[in-house]
Amino acid sequence: MTDTIAVSAADLSFSYGERLALQGVAFDVPVGKVHGFLGPNGSGKSTLFKLLSTLVPLQRGRVSLLGLDLATQAAAIRARLGVVFQSPAVDKKLTVRENLHYGGLLLGLSGRELALRIDAMLAAANLADRARDRVEELSGGLRRRVELAKCLLGKPELVLLDEASTGLDPAARRDMWAVLRAQTGITVLFTTHLMDEAAEADGLTLLDQGQIVAAGRPADLMREVGGQVLEIEAERPEQMLGELQQSLAVTAKLVEGTLRIEGDTVHELVPQVMQRFGERIQRLQLAHPSLQDVFLHKTGKRFVVTEPDAAPRKGRRKRS
Amino acid sequence: MMRAVMALWHREIVRFLRDRPRLVGSLLQPIIFWLLFSGALHGSFKPGGMDYGQYFFVGTLAMITLFTAIFATITVIEDRKEGFLQGVLVSPVPRAAIALGKILGGATLGMLLAIVFMLLAPVAGVSLSFDGVLLGLAVLAVLAIAVTGLGFTLAWVMDSSAGYHGIMMLFLMPMLLLSGAFFPMETAHPLLSWVRFVNPMTYGVGALRHAFQGPVAGVPSFTVCLLGTFAFAAATFLLGTFVVTRRSARDAV
């Protein structure tokens, strides 16, 4: 742990009863960076978020946030933390300003200092003209901006976002990130299942079934897969897999009924594939690798999100 | 910490005042109960020789604090479901402040509604002395903290509003009915008569009777009632603080 590392986790594991939600997770996030955690439902990213936000106690492993030990200094961490949950944490019955006022009081702000901070955050989030409106009257995108304004009210050094853009349209999502990026010097950790959002991060950790399957800069992760990905859907793909490998001397994979060939010069194979197997091919797609391809490359399965990070049910409560 | 307590307390009051159906229901329900019961039993039931309207007046005050506590603390479950509670839990506020703010908020609402009801005493033919009112308000404050603390504790560990209502009806209604709020308990079945002594509401209702009506037959002494009510409040308040300060995986739900 150094001054340049905002968040450091080592050997992090967490279980809900018998079910292991996180297993041996380790990562470092430098100060001032935007770091994403990408994973499908049940991958453990929400559990990780709950641990980092101090909502649940550590079971195993070590986590340092802003140089403070999560296990023993949770209260001190909370004073320097801003959190935006997937479900809204603002009071719909209160106005925008009232929400920020109560939020500020909970952060220990008061009087003129609080009033000035509220005005500054209303301006930053472009909410000044809606300050007197009740939150229940606002659109989803505006509510999210209220959340962000409340989260940033106490000038946090570290901001945690749990699927914060879920349910937002692209414009609202851009607004949210614009407000965040305008803050200087803060470190942002976010969980998401949106590929395009994850691709914007400075650093990315891919999670699956509670374990890290890949980590690095999004561009590097995609480059690792290879320069190009050729996907082929065809009749009798199992039979075609062998024929492809034999006749074209390439390494192909069959993933959930789709044949995949990864590599830097895969485009050169397209004419040969069409010539030999054209009649059997139903779909052929050549593309640069996406984070979906990275996930598939690392886990052997597609990244599927059935609903906004629906948590598996275990025991009496929903958790993920 | 007190700033956070005040913020949470104030939010409870503001939300209550903005929720018109809740406000109207909370104000009218005890009045309607008192009118119906005192009207129906006016000629046939005179506990201790007292007019039932006068007898039930004190019981209605206890009922107001209890029902207000139930509806005020159900917001704990709503706050958790709507995500507001998670926001508070990850703020630098000590968790005890959450219990304190919520309990004081609910208790204040109970007190306010009880005061409104007390203003109707002359209309209802119930004579109240100034000293009696002051003493009664003090007892009401302690009783309101006690029942709100109990409601808060139950709400904190409950998953659903429906489940919470079920538990309330299972435990709190019998507590109220067996407290002497609706009818005297000294002539009840021996088993029920025994139950009233372990029912903490008995002491709260008894203390209110002492404050508003003076010594009443079959009610423990004022000192015992006061001690019982204070012990009830202390126990539920500590219990509420205890459940809040335990950090567990369920907080994240």
pLDDT band, very low/low/confident/very high, at A3 (cuts 50, 70, 90): low
| B91 chain-A contacts, CB cut-off 8 A | 78, 103, 106-107
Name the pLDDT band for A204 (thresholds 50, 70, 90): very high
Write out pLDDT tens, residues A153-185: 988 999 999 887 777 778 777 877 887 888 778
Q: Which of B87, B85, B90, B86 is nearest to B75 (CA)?
A: B85
Please judge whether B247 and A78 are an interchain contact, meaning their C-beta atoms are less than 8 angstroms apart. Answer: no
Q: What is the pLDDT of residues B9-56, one digit of tens each?
A: 999 999 899 888 888 988 898 889 888 988 888 778 778 778 888 888
Q: Cβ separation of A105 and B7 shorter than 8 Å?
A: yes
Quote the CA–CA distance of B155 and B162 in Å, as a whole number.
11
| Whether residue A313 has pLDDT greater than 70 | no
3-state SS track over chain A: CCCCEEEEEEEEEEEECCEEEEEEEEEEEECCCEEEEECCCCCCHHHHHHHHCCCCCCCEEEEEECCEECCCCHHHHHCCEEEECCCCCCCCCCEHHHHHHHHHHHCCCCHHHHHHHHHHHHHHCCCHHHCCCEHHHCCHHHHHHHHHHHHHCCCCCEEEEECCCCCCCHHHHHHHHHHHHCCCCCEEEEEECCHHHHHCCCEEEEEECCEEEEEECHHHHHHHHCCEEEEEEECCHHHHHHHHHHHHCCCEEEECCEEEEEECCHHHHHHHHHHHHCCCEEEEEEECCCHHHHHHHHHCCCCCCCCCCCCCEECCEECC
> CB-based contact (8 Å) between A72 and chain B?
no
Q: Is A307's pLDDT higher than 80?
A: no
Average pLDDT of span A276-303? 83
User: From the list B14, B93, B251, which residue is nearest A56 (CB)?
Assistant: B251
Dump pLDDT digits (tens) for B73-111. 888 898 888 888 888 888 888 888 999 999 999 999 999
B91 contacts chain A (CB < 8 A): yes
pLDDT at res. B252? 54
**pLDDT value at position B111?**
93
ipTM higher than the 0.85 cut: no
**CB–CB contact A94 B14 (8 Å):** yes
Residue range A243-255, pLDDT digits in tens: 888 888 888 888 8
Chain A residues lying within 8 Å of B87, measured CB to CB:
83, 85, 89-90, 103, 150
Confidence of residue A1 (pLDDT cuts 50, 70, 90): very low
Pick from A56, A83, A106: CB nearest B249: A56
| Closest approach of A70 to chain B, Cα-based (Å) | 13
The contacts of residue A18 (CB under 8 Å, 6+ apart) are none
Look up the pTM and report it: 0.78
Residue from B20, B86, B88, B158 to probe the interface with A (highest A Cβ count within 10 Å) = B86
- The predicted structure's pLDDT at residue B251: 59
Q: Cβ of B150 under 8 Å from any chain A Cβ?
A: no
Report the pLDDT value the prediction gives residue A311, as an integer from 0 to 100: 40
Residue range A118-137: average pLDDT? Answer: 89
**Closest to A44 (Cα-Cα) out of A18, A64, A24:** A24
Q: Which residue of B has its CA nearest to A75?
A: B92
What pLDDT, on the 0 to 100 scale, is given for residue A316?
40
What is the pLDDT, as a whole number, of residue B249? Answer: 57
Looking at chain B, which residue has its C-alpha nearest residue A98?
B11
Contacts of A108 in chain B (CB under 8 A): 3-4, 92
State residue B112's pLDDT score.
93
A92 interface with B at CB cutoff 8 Å: yes
pLDDT digits (tens, 9 = 90+) for B106-145: 999 999 999 999 988 887 777 888 888 999 999 999 999 9
Band (pLDDT 50/70/90 cuts) for residue A308 is very low
Give dist(CA B179, CA B193) in Å, integer: 10
Q: Is B100 on the interface with A (CB under 8 A)?
A: no
State whether A55 and B250 contact (CB < 8 Å). no
Task: Compute, in degrees rounded to 10, the torsion defined by CA atoms B132, B138, B142, B143.
Answer: 30
Put simply, the answer to whether A90 touches B251 (Cβ < 8 Å) is no
Residue of A nearest to B85 (CA): A89
Cβ distance of A85 and B252 shorter than 8 Å:
no
Tens of pLDDT, residues A217-265: 988 888 887 778 888 888 888 888 888 888 888 888 888 788 888 888 8
d(CA A33, CA A17): 34
pLDDT-based confidence at A314, cuts 50/70/90?
very low
Q: What is the pLDDT, as a whole number, of residue A315?
A: 38
Taking contacts as CB-CB distances below 8 angstroms, the residues of chain B near A16 are: 249
Indicate if the pLDDT at residue A312 is higher than 50.
Answer: no
- Summarize pLDDT for B156-190 with one digit per residue, the tens: 888 888 888 888 888 888 899 888 888 887 777 87
Chain B residues close to A135, C-beta within 8 Å? none
pLDDT in tens, B211-230: 988 877 778 889 999 999 99
Decide if A94 and B11 are in contact by the 8 Å CB cutoff. Answer: yes
Contact A93 B19 (CB under 8 A): yes
A89 touches B at CB < 8 Å: yes
Cα B108 to Cα B120: distance, rounded to the nearest angstrom: 19
Measured between CA atoms, the residue of chain B closest to residue A77 is B92
pLDDT of amino acid B153: 92
Measured in whole angstroms, the distance separating CA B100 from the mean position of its chain's CA atoms is 16
- The partner residue sitting opposite A78, judged by closest CB among B6, B15, B91, is B91
Q: What value does the mean pLDDT take over residues A195-212?
A: 88
Residue in chain B lying closest to A148 (CA):
B87
Per-residue confidence band for B247, with pLDDT thresholds at 50, 70 and 90: low
Chain A, 34 to 63: residues with Cβ < 8 Å from chain B are 50, 53-57
Give how far A71 is from chain B: nearest CA, Å: 12
Task: Identify the pLDDT of residue B205.
Answer: 93
A85 vs B19: CB contact, 8 Å cut-off?
no
| A91 close to A102: Cβ distance less than 8 angstroms | yes
